[in-house]
Chain A
């Protein structure tokens, strides 16, 4: 039989009765009486080998102790590993060894403590099943009445319900009081209008296209067929907001055979002898669309797989993005270096409410 918890043993019978009396109604659920079978009560406890055989009990005890002793050894090993596997600057395998052996020592120390305790509980601590009665979660009627009385007294003694002026003005004051805190978070952002910032980049007329990260100008003749250049504007280097400006101004430069390019009339002079420049920032959620395929002229975004066709002005051919990548109009300066004709003619990157 199950061993009843000593305390509950005494009250068990009487408590069951109160449980039955206070049973909560089933609500509108329609339970089908299944009845018929009765709960047969707890099965007899099984007897473990360690309960019967003192020799096995002794063995189990030794195992537990052995695991705890092993844990001590492993902890010491971890400390030793910390000392004998130091990190040698510039030597990566020293970092690897430090990580490996320090971790190994600590983990063996922890796991041995754990396994030892569990083995102890399973094999040596008193076995069997104990039973405890549940009380309905709902408080007893007396308790609930007492709680209600507390509230009633509180209300009566303070006049909270009666004095409506006080009550209402207090609620009003409490509601309004957090508002200053909310307003204070306004200064999380600078005061300037973000919309204007989102609509322009540092590209401008006559700004040279530069290699990223070398920051050297690019001659049109450098861009051979099938080449892809990762480009930043020449003015970026002096920008006060380098990384924010780069986040909008990154451009991909490619040369296609002129017969492969399908150019609309209003963009006739945006490319230079088949060299085209497109914003690298995806129009979906802004990942750099940098995967360029030489022969298909497709650009792939590695984040959400939008695909853009460079031969058709970067129109979307697959994936969640809707708008084509904005094109940067380019030409060459007197020295033959590629320059922008102007800024992008539309905002780059993901859509935003005020974009259109």
Chain B
């Protein structure tokens, strides 16, 4: 039940630049800045990310200037922010790469915003944090292609993710003002990193719970949803019956009431 043929067909027919292209570009940049040594040894499951000493010390400087207020000078945490020992490079890449860190303000949860740092700087901080204690590394490209099993991915997504993120990945409410964000357009790498690290109140899905192949399947399913517009037409935010009900009252019945007024108005 692999879906290579159909995804290939789809790519040809949509004819636009494949979103994986940008990921590939970023990764190439990332790997080349990390040095040839990193290129040879980095693996997705590596608990320790090897990086150059230069990158680590660069990262430490950025950390001290931008993160230490909350996480402490030694990244051991303060009352304003958790310890970063063992969170791994994946966590740093996710939090800073999606703009959640540094926090704009203390609130129920960190908001997604444009990243404050270049990928180079993020990589440096990731290298620094990874050097403190072993943790999940940057995921291997082979899990991020989006060409894995969408059917299995969909099933896993519904069991493990849909209760918070909604079956179409539109997001949903959590307690006390927290929420599960929409997954539309989120980069494969960030989805993978979120599953491994469990950012904020999201649970951790370690590799024994969802294997890297499972995660690749889930990513493929989400890519499928992203790349294929809803067949029935505009999806009204994929929010389900609430947006459908509002739509029929406001636009459906609204338009028809407009027609009734025209019907009964006397012509000139």
Contact = CB atoms under 8 A, between A and B. Distances in A.
B233 A99 contact: yes
A311 interface: no
Interface stretch (B28-36, B49-57, B61-69, B171-179): B171-179
| Chain A interface residue bracket vs B | 35 or more
A48 interface: yes
Interface string A279-293: 000000000101111
Contacts of A90: 6, 9
A295 B202 CA distance: 8
Contact of A122 (B13, B176, B231, B267): B267
Contact of A227 (B164, B180, B203, B267): B203
B202 A49 contact: no
A46 B268 CA distance: 8
Interface string B204-227: 111011000010000000000000
A212 B262 CA distance: 57
| Chain B interface residue bracket vs A | 35 or more
Interface in B100-129: none
Contact of A293 (B9, B175, B230): B175
B163 A302 contact: yes
Interface stretch (B39-47, B70-78, B153-161, B242-250): B153-161
A294 B159 contact: no
B232 interface: yes
A127 B204 CA distance: 73
A213 B155 contact: yes
A92 B202 contact: no
Interface of A is mostly: mixed
Contact of A222 (B155, B172, B200, B206): B206
A198 interface: no
A48 B201 contact: no
Contacts of B267: 48-50, 122-123
A164 interface: no
A150 interface: no
Contacts of B156: 213
B97 to A, nearest CB: 20
A230 B205 CA distance: 11
A307 B175 CA distance: 8
B18 interface: no
11 contacts: A93-B229, A100-B233, A118-B262, A122-B263, A222-B206, A222-B209, A295-B201, A296-B201, A300-B173, A300-B174, A300-B175
The 5 closest A-B pairs by CB, nearest first: A222-B208, A228-B203, A290-B163, A293-B201, A226-B204
